[in-house]
Amino acid sequence: MSYLSLTERDRDEMLAAIGVESIEELFRDIPPGVRFHGELDLEPPLSEPEIVTHLEELAGRNVHTGQEVSFLGAGVYDHYVPAVVDAVLQRGEFLTGYTPYQPEMSQGVLQAIFEYQTAICELTGMEVSNASGYDGTTVAADACYVAKHVTGRSRVVLAETLNPQVRQVVKTFAPGFGLEVVEVPHRDGVTDPDELAEAARDAACVIFQQPNFFGCLEPAPDLAAAATDAGALPVAHVDPVSLGVLEAPGAYGCAIAIGEGQAAGNYQSFGGPHYGFMAARSEYVRRMPGRIVGETTDVEGRRAYVLTLQTREQHIRREKATSNITTNQTLLALAGLVHLSWLGPQGLREQGETCMALAAYAKERLGLPLLFPDQATFKEFAIRVGRSAADAIRAARAQGIHPGYALRRDYPEMEDALLVCVTEKRTREDIDRLAEVLAA
Amino acid sequence: MKLIYERSQEGRRASSLPRTDLPVPEVPEELRRERPPRLPEIAEPELVRHFTRLTTRTFGVDTGFYPLGSCTMKHNPRVNERVVNLPGFRDLHPLQEEDGAQGALELMWRLQEILAEVAGLPAVSLQPAAGSQGELTGLLLMRAYFADRGEPDARRKIVIPDTAHGTNPASVTMAGYEVTPVQTDARGNIDVEDLRGKVDEHTAGLMLTNPSTLGLFDENIEEIAEIFHSAGALMYYDGANLNAVCGISRPGDMGFDIVHFNLHKTFSQPHGGGGPGGGPIAVRERLEPFLPVPAIVRDGDAFRLDYDRPKTIGKVRGFCGPFGVFVRSYAFIRSYGPGLREMSEVAVLNANYLLARLKDAYELPFERLCMHEFVLSARRLKREHGITALDVAKRLMDHDFHPPTIYFPLNVPEALMIEPTETEAKETLDDFVEAMLEIVRDAAERPELIKEAPHGRPVGRVDEVKAAKRAVVRYLFEDHPDLSAEPSRARELEAQKGA
């Protein structure tokens, strides 16, 4: 099967118009030494139903969250995605357009991005948002790059309670950015503001996560203040689902708020594509990476939207750009906008409260020691299962339950620790079953 | 049209989620949200209508011809949307145990094998999120490679031709390297004489798009490869234009050491209004140890993630990359099989047909056959009638076509960069030619019509200067300014639009 439209007759007419004898002749500029001769060693073409059958077979060898009762979180979450999200994303105009370079052709998607930027600013308490970054890891690296240029400093401080993958990605890009990375260890599951203040001296920025990777609530206002006092930009990595009940980073003095958007409107999809969000105080707008849509008017004075502040960007500024990002995650960010519009402020708060209530019930009901018993949590918490967490996971999965994430994968000293996530999709009965399975 | 926030009414909502009668724990006061976010309050019927109305003000490949050069706006098969939404893919958690993700791992492993074959290079990482992240990843591989050879500081320079995408120099800076520009010669190739003087023991590598953004295959590619490799430097292939050469010429065979693919261009991941994309990279053996982790490997009949790569540069994004993009691209490639070659042949045929029919009416800066795209100049229209590339682009909208990329590449004045892709029918190409020729006639006879275009779109030409000056980048509710009360002019920057 192919998706070509030319008939044999079309091809002949077109070759004649070009003035060549054959398609082969069109490639005459390619030196013979670098031509590929023969056929690509790929499997034969499949018809449409064969593709479906083949992909169904592959999909069938995965165990998805509709098949196991899942308490797995750790950065990607099984929250409900409303049907309107699917409906909007399958509209061909959104699905198959590209970056809205020509505003007259793309007012719809430009307005949608403007509305998305507004939603992210409202969630985070910030004044400017970009049109999206790749995911919750790369926006952290972006924030470091912004902070380096804003402060002229070249050290970044990461809380050890920041998602390990986020830290890994920052470390990957740090040498190219000319940054040194320092990590601040956790104390009983959270970050100590005094220790952070010490590390933040001469730092460009400090990144912490709220709720943190262990699910614990950080003393976020104190952490932000510690960074600010040291002249470092405070950066909060936040879960959008929490922002109906937890304070917005802008309200406690953060310079930049970032996060993984997946929990708001994207399916788990084995880790992507999702969207990373990035918002900041307006003073940093000209250092922001990525696309930004602004409002203006057209020649007749009508309201219009357009990609703006482009002198930051690679296609104008080239090696002096604030980042190299071009293709971003617009469609996933659009899903986020639809999702947040569906929720509304009341729905977002209720969702957060439901997660918290169910998670609190689970903490109680599981009856296992908490890894950090003194800390308040949101939708995730860490327990000690009294044996290897990997064994506990294996045993539970045999009963049709995925009990969570083995923290040992990132924190080798936490041999028996399991990170349990409870979303609004889980029920009391699910939690009761989890308790039974873990007790067995 | 109103913003969704302007349709909002307090007390309305669309959502219904499960509630529980369990007690909700108190959030410590200093961490509790004080003022709720002003998200839209809207019921589902109006929610659906709002976004549907936005779609009617948006143009996609599904709407019509979209020859945006260097972006490869081809048809996006709907079967790919069906398979990506299979629950086994869509609802799969990325930290699921490997025995519960064998299908996903196998799909990624198979895609790696396919991309290796198309690139002519043995090792692949699917992880980078988009082409420009593939670039940055490739440059970090170069850094790691030279550091491993004990020459980390000696090599600082990356050679980039003046026709390159802006991402190339931007990525170079982000990788901590420096740009060495090289010129284009009279035939549109890299100027080899200029190049010779610029490659030495301080050169880390080359970044090249081939065919270039002029749509021309570099005829001296073998000589160029020789220059870099004899200086001990590496060659990076920007795969933005790979749609021209699948099964026809492989980057690995051209001498490139690192290649990125744009899955959203060549392999039909829908562009989504700006993304998502996918930017896998393929590399030569000697660079494999430095690839991002995890690697996806096959052990007999089983597939697993391998983190045991001591020389890895690390991770460049979360998990294994944009998996949904992999599913669509894999399905797309399986529909062609070795017929990917025909895909590229027809892409090149379509482009040359348009070129043949348009080159006399516009100016062709390099008198050659093109590959999958070509660049015309509207310089003559500007000189004779005051009609710019921007005007041509706007007038094409009146003919229901999306404009091509304009003002890029930078070395062609009044550039119009046209890429039809392989999926367009001859009738569509003929209609586009007629529109382009009519614009040339109108330029002479009724230029005002063109200068005032577009006519009948939701908005006319916009005031870009006002947008940048006022920087209104979110809705401000009761404080929102009325920009229409301020004077408005069509002030569009003659800046690159597209690519």
In angstroms, rounded to a whole number, what is the distance separating the alpha carbons of residues A397 and A394? 5
**Any CB–CB contact under 8 A between A350 and chain B?**
yes
Residue among B222, B317, B357 whose CB faces A34 most closely: B222
User: In angstroms, what separates the C-alpha of B444 from chain A's closest C-alpha?
Assistant: 24
Asked if the model's pLDDT at residue A26 lies above 90, the reply is yes
State the Cα–Cα distance between residues B215 and B210, nearest whole angstrom: 8
Nearest to B158 by CA among B174, B141, B139: B139
**What phi and psi, each to the nearest 5 degrees, are found at residue A388?**
-60, 130
Residue A306 lies in a domain: yes
**Which residues in B lie closer than 8 A to residue A266 (C-beta atoms)?**
none
pLDDT at A235: 99
- Average of pLDDT values for B276-291? 98
Predicted confidence (pLDDT) per residue in A398-429, tens digit: 999 999 999 999 999 999 999 999 999 999 99
Residues A408, A272 share a domain: no
Is the model's pLDDT at B494 over the cut of 90? no
Give residue-wise pLDDT tens across range B68-107. 999 999 999 999 999 999 999 999 999 999 999 999 999 9
The verdict on a CB contact (< 8 Å) between A295 and B483 is: yes
CATH of the domain at A416: 3.90.1150.10
A340 touches chain B (CB under 8 A): yes
Closest alpha carbon to B436 in B374, B494, B489, B493: B374
Distance of alpha carbon B360 from alpha carbon B23, whole angstroms: 76
Q: Please give, rounded to a whole number of angstroms, the shortest distance from the CA of A270 to a CA of chain B.
A: 4
Does the model's pTM come out above 0.95?
yes
Is residue A312 located within the same domain as residue A390?
Answer: no
Which amino acid makes up residue B216? Answer: L
CA distance linking residue A214 with residue A102, whole number of Å: 45
Candidates B12, B41, B59, partner chain A, best to mutate (most A CBs within 10 A): B59
Cβ separation A319–B167 shorter than 8 A: no
Over residues A217-238, the mean pLDDT reads 98
For residue B256, the chain A residue with the least C-alpha distance is A34
What are B72's two structure tokens?
């490869």
Nearest Cα residue in chain A from B12? A344
Q: Is the CB of A328 inside 8 Å of chain B's CB atoms?
A: yes
Please check whether residues A371 and A315 belong to one and the same domain.
no
Interchain CB distance below 8 Å, B5 and A304? no
Give contacts of B27 with chain A, Cβ < 8 Å: 217, 245-246, 356, 376
Q: Residue A130: what pLDDT?
A: 98
- The pLDDT-based confidence of B449 (bands split at 50, 70, 90) is very high
Chain B residues whose beta carbon lies within 8 Å of the beta carbon of residue A87 = 48
At A269 the pLDDT is: 98
Tokens 């509709």 identify what position?
A66
Query: Among B149, B104, B67, B16, which Cα is nearest to B330's?
Result: B104
Run of H or E residues at A111: helix A107-124
Residue A412 forms part of a structural domain: yes
Domain ranges of chain B: 1-17+39-57, 81-338
Q: Residue A310: its pLDDT value, please?
A: 93
Last residue of a domain, one of A337, A356, A376: A337
Q: What was the pLDDT predicted at B209? A: 98
Residue A351 C-alpha, separation from nearest chain B C-alpha, in angstroms: 7
How many domains, chain A? 3
Topology of domain B81-338, CATH? Aspartate Aminotransferase; domain 2 (3.40.640)
Interval B141-159 mean pLDDT: 94
- Please report residues of B whose CB lies closer than 8 A to that of A310: 468, 493, 495
**Dihedral sign of CA atoms B96, B99, B104, B108 in order:** positive
Residues of A in contact with B131 (CB under 8 A): 326-327
Q: Is A332 on the interface with B (CB under 8 A)?
A: yes
Residue A410 falls inside a structural domain = yes
Using the beta-carbon criterion (under 8 Å), do A42 and B114 form an inter-chain contact? yes
Nearest CA in chain A to B489: A299
Give yes or no for residue B152 having a pLDDT over 90: no
- Residues A333, A200 share a domain: yes
Q: Quick one: A426 and A289 in the same domain? A: no
Q: Which of A285, A319, A337 is the last residue of a domain?
A: A337
pLDDT score of B492 more than 90: no
For residue A423, give its domain range.
Answer: 69-80+345-439
CB contact under 8 A, A273 and B325: yes
Q: b/e map of A309-337 (b: 16 or more CB within 10 Å)?
A: bbebbbbebbbebbbbbbbbbbbbbbbbb
Mean pLDDT of all residues belonging to chain A = 97
Q: Which residues are B203's β-sheet partners? A: B157
Q: Is residue A63 part of a domain?
A: no
- Which candidate, B242, B249, B163, B243, places its Cα nearest to that of B207? B163
Same structural domain for residues A290 and A432? Answer: no
Of B174, B356, B402, the CB nearest to A102: B402
pLDDT tens per residue, range B351-372: 999 999 999 999 999 999 999 9
Kindly report whether the peptide bond that precedes residue B276 is cis, defined as omega within 30 degrees of 0.
yes
Measured between beta carbons, the chain A residues lying within 8 angstroms of B68 are 98, 101
Alpha helices in B57-149 (DSSP H): 78-84, 87-90, 102-119, 131-148
Is residue A313 within 8 A of residue A169, CB to CB? The reply is no
Whether residue A135 lies within 8 A of chain B, CB to CB, comes out as: yes
Is residue B438 helix, strand or coil? helix
> Inter-chain contact A176–B490, Cβ cutoff 8 Å?
no
- Of A337, A355, A375, the last residue of a domain is A337
Do A319 and B170 count as a contact with CB atoms less than 8 A apart?
yes
Local confidence band at A231 (pLDDT 50, 70, 90 cut-offs):
very high
Q: Which residue of A has its CA nearest to B313?
A: A172
Q: State whether residue B445 is helix, strand or coil.
A: helix
0.95 surpassed by complex ipTM: yes
- Our CA-based measurement puts residue A420 at a distance from the nearest CA of chain B, in whole angstroms, of 13
pLDDT of residue A440: 84
Q: Examine the domain organization and report whether A309 and A432 are in the same domain.
A: no
What per-residue confidence (pLDDT) applies to A9?
Answer: 98
Per the CB < 8 Å rule, is B274 touching A424?
Answer: no
Say if residue A93 is in the same domain as residue A196.
yes
Cβ-Cβ pairs closer than 8 A, A with B, add up to 741
- For residue A351, what is the nearest residue in chain B, using CA coordinates? B17
Q: Please judge whether A308 and B62 are an interchain contact, meaning their C-beta atoms are less than 8 angstroms apart.
A: no
* A277 lies in the same domain as A329: yes
In a shared domain, residues A321 and A354: no
Q: Identify the closest residue of chain A to B181 by CA–CA distance.
A: A319
Which two structure tokens, joined as six digits, stand for B71?
């972006």
Nearest chain B alpha carbon to A426: B18
Measure A440 CA to nearest chain B CA, in Å. 21
Chain B residue nearest residue A108, CA to CA: B54
Q: H/E/C letters for each residue in B320-351?
A: CCCHHHHHHHHHHHHHHHHHHHHHHHHHHHHH
Chain A residues lying within 8 Å of B61, measured CB to CB: 92, 96-97
Alpha helices in B446-491 (DSSP H): 447-451, 464-470
Residue in chain B nearest A47 by alpha carbon:
B335
Residue to mutate among B38, B44, B71, B95, with most A CBs inside 10 A, is B95
What pLDDT does residue B153 have?
A: 81
Q: Looking at residues A201-214, what average pLDDT do you find? A: 98
Could you tell me if A131 lies within 8 Å of chain B, comparing CB atoms?
Answer: yes
Q: Tell whether the model's pLDDT for residue B151 goes beyond 90.
A: no
Chain A, window 352-381: residues with a beta carbon less than 8 angstroms from a chain B beta carbon: 353-354, 356-358, 360-361, 376
Best residue of A24, A296, A309, A418 to probe chain B, by most B CBs closer than 10 Å: A296
Q: Which residues of B touch A99 (CB under 8 A)?
A: 271, 273-275
A16: contact with B, CB 8 A cutoff: no
Is residue A262 located within the same domain as residue A146?
Answer: yes
What pLDDT is stored for residue B493 in this prediction?
Answer: 80
Residue A64 lies in a domain: no
Q: A300 and A404 share a domain?
A: no
Write down the pLDDT at residue A2: 86
A395 touches chain B (CB under 8 A): no
